[in-house]
Amino acid sequence: MSYQFLTFVVADRIATITVNRPDKLNALNDATIAELGVAIDEAIARDDVGGVVLTGAGRAFVAGADITELADQTPLDAVRRARAGQLIFRRYETSPKPTIAVINGFALGGGCELAMACHVRIASELAKLGQPEVKLGIVPGYGGTQRLPRLIGRGAALRLLLTGEIISASEAFRLGLVDQVVAADALVDTATGVMRAMLANAPLALAGCIEAVNRGASLDIEEGCRVESDQFGTLSSTADMREGMQAFLEKRTPSFVGH
């Protein structure tokens, strides 16, 4: 697959997707969003990919939706744009392979929303995050009003949404918006290490955790636990469960095959 606004590199079972419009701080025009959809589908489909690292080229992760495209949108354009982006971001959230947002710089508006759609967020200490849409007279359109309160709670989310304030990586960590903050020069190695730790585990178990967490998010505890026990049961039919337990009992490292 070839991309105009992204790079897609696979090494050691990790697909690194890099939004690559550094002169525009990786602002998401419609074409870049569409390519993000193709890229996650490619990563999910490829047997040589176990997980996805998503980052930005240059000094930004993603500085938001491309305001030059939003500036003259009609209401209908705006609804279609938001819906298309929401569905693509959701594919990062529901990917059966883990997705890590590696936040190297600005993650604003659609950039913060894209990071929130990933399973884990690791930020450089230089990163800045926020949902400044109200300053443009709009609300977030790519899931920000829904994911931010789920991630950091209603009060903190509304503070960020209503002020449009741009916060530091350390404040984002304090709020739970990012999971880890590291020195800029340690960012890639840290993210690679976290992904490698995930990929050492059974792929179907990773997918099962992601699915149970995602489905459980809209269920009550009773129904959510049923989803979990179903996953628990299904995984007990896999070769990887037998291998994982056998390896433990034999005091060796398991070798998982993905079925």
Nearest to 117 by CA among 155, 61, 163, 79: 61
Shortest CB 104 distance to ligand COA, Å: 13
> What dihedral do alpha carbons 256, 197, 116, 183 form, nearest 10°?
-160
Residue among 136 and 213 whose Cβ is closer to ligand COA:
136
Residue among 159 and 215 whose Cβ is closer to ligand COA:
159
Q: Which of 35, 93, 133, 222 is catalytic?
A: 133
Q: Is the dihedral of CA 42, 43, 45, 47 positive or negative?
A: positive
Shortest CB 139 distance to ligand COA, Å: 10
Shortest CB 6 distance to ligand COA, Å: 17
Q: Which of 113, 165, 211, 228 is catalytic?
A: 113
User: Can 228 be counted among the known catalytic residues?
Assistant: no
Residue among 35 and 133 whose Cβ is closer to ligand COA:
133
Residue among 56 and 132 whose Cβ is closer to ligand COA:
132
- For residues 155 and 10, what is the distance between their CA atoms, to the nearest angstrom? 40
DSSP 28: B
Shortest CB 68 distance to ligand COA, Å: 5
Nearest to 127 by CA among 8, 24, 25: 25
Q: Label residue 34 exposed, middle or buried (CB < 10 Å: 0-12, 13-18, 19+).
A: middle
- For residues 122 and 5, what is the distance between their CA atoms, to the nearest angstrom? 22
User: Can 125 be counted among the known catalytic residues?
Assistant: no
User: Which residue ranges make up the site for ligand COA (CB under 6 A)?
Assistant: 24-25, 27, 63-68, 106, 108-110, 132-133, 136
Q: Which residues are catalytically annotated?
A: 113, 133
